Amino acid sequence: MPIGGFTRQRKHLVGKQTSYGSNTAATRQLPYRGPIVVQPTRTLPDVDMGSFDPILPSFNGPKEVSANWTGKADYDSLPLLWGMFLKGGVTPTGGGAAKTWTFQASSLTADDFDYVTDEFGDDQTTDVVVAGGGVIDSLELSFGEDLSAWDVNAQVIYARAHYNATGFTGGITPDTTPAWLYGGDTEVYLDTVYSSIGTTKLTDAVHAAGFSGNNNLDRKRFANGSNTRFQLAGVGRGERVGEIKLTLAKTTATIAMAQRLDDEPVVTEFLELRTTSPEIITGATPFSQSIRVPVELIDRADGEMGGNSTIELTYRVKYDANLGYAYRVVVVCAATA
């Protein structure tokens, strides 16, 4: 018989938690790869024991539990990602099959996150890693010059983990017909007036684009007795850093965009990445995602694509008092939770 433990049998099953401290059963399978990594901290005592080799046992320290989810972006998984990264507790609107999820993050107060329990393993179901309190520390969503499905790269940190010998939560089947988010369905808008955000489209100019963000989360542990020991009691928000990167053909409009690096004072612009699928959820409502952010241009690089020069612009996300937000993401999909 073949040796067990097949990488092609690996999977992530997740369930959204009702509280940070309590694991929950899985409700869905994610279309990503990347194992849960459990890093124990075992340290030898630095003492004199009359031996060249260790005599005393190591002592334990906190476990660091993390995962790097990678894959392609499908619309129905986006609300989970944004809830874990940007703002939790969002309830979708819409009475039919099409649900609208709006993630408008607070800048002047602290939003909570959505947290998940993550079950990871393969065909050896007596060796399933169960990690709880999962939240996204950094997130990248982007597409390249082939305009294919957007890439997902999410760095997840967890509060705790254990090995489960009884296997996965049963009855979970994957979505075998996901609606992919395509670069070819994406439009980019850049405006200089906040009330006109999403108005001025960059036409025949955008080769590639992407969003990246880092929460710089602070891990919190407290001495509460052996029932919790080293596990995280929570995470503290740090300085949220977000960027939008655009790879552009040289046009009159994009050259003018790049030359705004000379502006003094630095001006705030208003950018939207809008993706609308030709695939309909129900009636006339398609799958879609809109990322709206106020930004400042912070860097320009010159590249090439085929026989043509390109301009690579990096924008930093900032809070704008007129808009009242730094991040507003709206996803229309079929996911209800």
27-62: pLDDT as tens digits: 999 999 999 999 999 999 999 999 999 999 999 999
What residue type is assigned to position 120 of the chain?
F
- Percent of the chain with pLDDT strictly greater than 90: 93
* Residue 231 included in any domain: no
Tell me the pLDDT tens digit for each residue of 245-257.
999 999 999 999 9
Residue at 233 is within a domain: no
Total of domains in the chain: 1
Bridge-based pairing state of the strands 36-43 and 59-72: antiparallel
Q: Is residue 252 part of a domain?
A: yes
Does the residue 195 lie in any domain?
Answer: yes
DSSP assignment string, 139-196:
EEEEE-TT--BPEEEEEEEESEEEEETT-SPSS----SS--B-BGGGEEEEEESSGGG
DSSP secondary structure letter of residue 327: -
- Which pLDDT score, from 0 to 100, does residue 290 have? 98
Q: What is the pLDDT of residues 75-133, one digit of tens each?
A: 999 999 999 999 999 999 998 999 999 999 999 999 999 999 999 999 999 999 999 99
Q: How far apart are CA 129 and CA 122, in angstroms?
A: 10
Say if strands 11-16 and 269-282 run parallel, antiparallel, or are unpaired.
unpaired
Structure confidence at residue 21 as a pLDDT band (50, 70, 90): confident
The answer to whether residue 1 scores a pLDDT higher than 80 is no
Q: What is the pTM of this model?
A: 0.95
pLDDT in tens, 130-185: 999 999 999 999 999 999 999 999 999 999 999 999 999 999 999 999 999 999 99
Stated as kind and residue range, the H or E segment containing 276 is strand 269-282
Query: According to the model, what pLDDT value does residue 149 have?
Result: 98
Structural domain includes residue 317: yes
Model confidence pLDDT, tens digit, residues 137-146? 999 999 999 9
230 within domain boundaries: no
CB 243 within 8 A of CB 214: no
Within-domain flag for 4: no
Compute the mean pLDDT over every residue in the chain, rounded to the nearest whole number: 96
Task: Give residue-wise pLDDT tens across range 246-300.
Answer: 999 999 999 999 999 999 999 999 999 999 999 999 999 999 999 999 999 999 9
Measure the CA–CA gap between 320 and 317, rounded to whole angstroms.
9
- How much is the average pLDDT of 65-75? 98
Range of the domain at 77: 9-45+57-220+239-333
Do 317 and 65 meet the contact criterion of CB atoms below 8 Å apart?
A: no
Q: Which tokens hold the place of 263?
A: 């502006």
Q: Is residue 226 part of a domain?
A: no
